[in-house]
Amino acid sequence: MQFELGPLVSGHSIKNVTDLDDRHQIAFAGLFGEMRYLLLDRGPSSPLAITLSAEPEWRRIDETSGTHVTNFELELKLNADLELIKNRLYLGANLLYEPEATHDPDHVGAGWEKESTGGISAALSYRVVPSVFVGAELWYLRHYDGAWFNTFTGDAVYLGPTLYVQLGPKMFMTAAWNWQVTGSDVDDPSARLNLAEFSRQRAKLKVAVEF
């Protein structure tokens, strides 16, 4: 079992975007936690490992507009990775379910807006030196109104590189950068990308210390 806790910081640079106020800010955005449980460990008789993770988040800044909101998310993942070449090449896959609820205090009388995202991913990671892995991942995501996949609103496909660096015996860094390569929006069938529910790019950088 592994537990993580940390702050969220968001940066916005918005100018002349339809339906969004101009905004330039960097602000404390909230808190996140992560709990990981190893269901199946890799060993001499099996090259497969399976992990279940839960990542709750509280946000006070809207990710798209930068306005003040109250937002709760719970990202649930089932992760499997397979050792293709011993201590060298790995194949990974994820199943994702992420319900979310948001309340905008500027909309008087508005309730909680609920939505959910489901997805699947595949990735390859290669050990270039003992402490560094480089790779690539492909994500397919579907967005729904409602917390339980109630009404489908659109999907998106992301592709990009990944990096893992072991900085010390108890410290590591992970990074990933994804671009939306295609997508669909139920409200705009002619769109080549889905920028209503998904961002054009996604990036994640994490530095962790174990104790």
Interval 101-112: pLDDT, tens: 999 887 666 789
Which strands, in side-by-side order, build the sheet including 201-209?
Answer: 2-14, 23-40, 48-61, 68-85, 89-103, 113-129, 132-145, 151-168, 171-185, 201-209
Determine whether 190 is exposed, middle or buried from the number of CB atoms within 10 Å of its CB (0-12, 13-18, 19+): exposed
In whole angstroms, what is the distance from residue 63 CA to residue 71 CA? 10
Query: Three-class SS of residue 152?
Result: strand
**Which residue type does 152 have?**
F
- Residues 66-121 have pLDDT tens digits of 888 999 999 999 999 999 999 999 999 999 999 999 998 876 667 899 999 999 99
Can you tell me which residue has the tokens 């500027």? 106
- Please tell me the distance from the alpha carbon of residue 141 to that of residue 135, in angstroms, as a whole number: 20
Question: What is the C-alpha to C-alpha distance for residues 52 and 79, in angstroms, rounded to an integer?
Answer: 6
Q: What is the pTM of this model?
A: 0.86
- Higher pLDDT residue, 2 or 116? 116
Give SS3 for 205: strand
pLDDT of residue 109: 66
Lowest mean pLDDT across 42-46, 116-120, 190-194:
42-46
